[in-house]
Amino acid sequence: IRATRAIAATQDGAVFAGQGFVGVTTAANPQPRFFANGDDYIQHMAVSSDGKLLVLGSVESDLYVWELH
């Protein structure tokens, strides 16, 4: 089991991440959806104020921008 290292609230749920994964959950769909993210350790994340973009920062100083649907 991989540990969650970062979590951020969205307008209707949450996004969480750890080593090699990102998960999304919403009030309408509480079962988490998981996505692979290589082997990067995600340490920081932020959701845009309109809830459409997610920015992830890894301990290796990589940044990822994802569009939330």
* pLDDT recorded at residue 1: 47
Cβ within 8 Å of residue 9, ≥6 positions away = 47
Query: What HEC string does the chain produce?
Result: CCCEEEEEECCCEEEEEEEEEEEEEECCCCCCEEEEEEEEEEEEEEECCCCCEEEEEECCCCEEEEECC
Tens-binned pLDDT, residue by residue, of the chain (69 aa): 468 888 899 888 999 988 888 889 999 988 988 887 777 788 889 999 998 999 988 888 889 898 987
- Of 67, 66, 18, 20, nearest in space to 43 by CA: 18
